[in-house]
């Protein structure tokens, strides 16, 4: 299985993601420049965090001017897994691939630390190895993590079981419904503000992010075996 | 060359924590008559075209990039740029 780590100008955590995928999860991975927009040879796309385009205008907004967004939309439409973390989540939202928008954190400050999350949906490609309701701890670091959708959309997300992760020890950003991670309707695109690639080794403080990547791999492998 | 001021504001339904903090600060300074503060963004564009062309194009720019309509509203004014 081959992952593309889509890197935009200013993306600073592409190498962390690459390391997590290649060295820890043990899948094929390549850092792909946003200008080199051909994603056809990949089985999954990951958009790393790190203030693309300097977070100018709105975090994730200027990434829409890259031609890679068209390739990304086509890739997402094809049903293959797409994961956006941190700024990658903001890019997915600004591109309209996921619903909603981001506001500045409720306390108006950049915040970082470890967030306790509850896994709300274990039927997704990204979370099938976790247990329903399992509490996990993942690092986060953001100023615009306050995820917003209007009340109707929030109801819809709940009804469609699209809310994958919620914050459990308070709500560091002020996100609607304590949302920390949300799926698209088709279930193949996940955006999340906490950073699973920073929790894949004990040496960096925990491994609660590892089952997420392993779930993607497991589901891909099962699907591929079925086709064979 | 024509100047366009685009005003971007948070939608009424969206809580504006910056505005609330600024309002509290104003009240602390004795400006108790201030009942609400909403903080937005001014985007100044200079561009060529007739007014009607500019209106159409600026709307497109706002819809495509400058404004996130999930959380923001916008309005704009078209005027001359002095000396250009």
Residue range A6-37, pLDDT digits in tens: 999 999 999 999 999 999 999 999 999 999 88
Q: Which helix (H) or strand (E) holds A102?
A: strand A101-103
Domain that holds residue B16: 2-80
Determine contact, residues A84/A63, Cβ cutoff 8 Å: no
pLDDT reading at A228 higher than 60: no
Per-residue CA distances from A173 to A81, A105, A167 (Å) = 26, 4, 9
Q: Reduced to 3 states, what is the DSSP secondary structure of residue B79?
A: strand
Q: Which residue has the higher pLDDT, B83 or B52?
A: B52
3-state helix, strand, coil in chain A (%, to 5): 30, 25, 40
Residue of B nearest to A100 (CA): B70
For range B59-65, the mean pLDDT: 97
Q: How confident is the model at residue A106 (pLDDT cuts 50, 70, 90)?
A: confident
Residues of A with a Cβ under 8 Å from any B Cβ are 57-58, 61-62, 64-65, 94, 99-101, 103-104, 106-108, 148-150, 174
Query: Within 13 A of A185's CA, how many CA atoms are on the CB side?
Result: 8
Provide mean pLDDT across the span A126-142.
97
**Strand B72-80 versus strand B41-47 pairing type:** unpaired
B13 vs A contacts (CB less than 8 Å): 150
Neighbours of A118 (CB within 10 A): 18
Distances in Å between the Cα of A181 and the Cα atoms of A104, A127, B83 are: 17, 11, 51
Mean pLDDT throughout A50-59?
Answer: 95
Q: What is the pLDDT of residue A132?
A: 96
pLDDT at residue number A171: 87
Percent pLDDT > 90 in chain A is 92
b/e A65-92 (16+ beta carbons within 10 angstroms → b): ebebbebbeebbeeebbbbbbbbbbbbb
CB-based contact A21:A29 (threshold 8 Å): yes
B62: CATH: 3.30.1280.10
Residues 62-81 (B) with a CB less than 8 A from some CB of A: 64-66, 68, 70-71
Between chains, do A108 and B18 touch, taking CB under 8 Å as contact?
A: yes
State how many domains chain B has.
Answer: 1
Q: In Å, how far is A160's CA from the nearest CA of chain B?
A: 20
Q: Is residue A62's pLDDT more than 50?
A: yes
């Amino acid at each position: 299985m081959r992952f593309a780590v889509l890197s935009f100008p200013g993306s600073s955590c592409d190498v962390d993601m690459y390391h997590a995928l290649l060295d820890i999860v043990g899948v094929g991975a390549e850092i792909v420049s946003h200008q080199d927009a051909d994603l056809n040879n990949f089985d999954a796309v990951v958009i790393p965090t790190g203030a693309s385009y300097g977070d100018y205008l709105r975090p994730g907004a200027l990434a829409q001017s890259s031609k890679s967004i068209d390739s990304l939309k086509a890739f997402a439409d094809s049903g293959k897994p797409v994961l956006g973390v941190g700024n990658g989540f903001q890019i997915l939202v600004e591109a309209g691939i996921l619903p909603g928008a981001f506001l500045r954190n409720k306390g108006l400050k950049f915040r970082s630390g470890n967030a306790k999350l509850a896994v709300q949906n274990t039927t997704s490609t990204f979370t099938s190895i976790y247990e329903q309701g399992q509490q996990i701890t993942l690092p986060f670091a953001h100023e615009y993590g306050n995820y917003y959708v209007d009340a109707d959309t929030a109801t819809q997300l709940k009804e469609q079981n699209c809310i994958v992760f919620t914050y459990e020890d308070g709500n560091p950003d002020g996100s609607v419904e304590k949302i920390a991670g949300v799926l698209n309707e088709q279930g193949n695109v996940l955006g999340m503000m906490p950073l699973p690639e920073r929790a894949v080794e004990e040496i960096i403080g925990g491994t609660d992010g590892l089952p997420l990547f392993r779930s993607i791999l497991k589901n891909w492998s099962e699907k591929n075996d079925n086709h064979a | 060359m024509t100047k366009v001021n685009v005003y971007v504001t948070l939608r009424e339904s969206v809580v504006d924590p910056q505005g609330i903090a600024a309002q509290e600060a104003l009240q602390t300074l004795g400006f108790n008559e201030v009942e609400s503060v909403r903080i937005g963004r001014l985007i100044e564009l200079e561009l060529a075209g007739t007014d009607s062309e500019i209106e159409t194009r600026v709307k497109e720019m706002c819809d495509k990039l400058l404004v996130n309509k999930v959380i923001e509203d916008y309005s704009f004014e078209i005027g001359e740029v002095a000396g250009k």
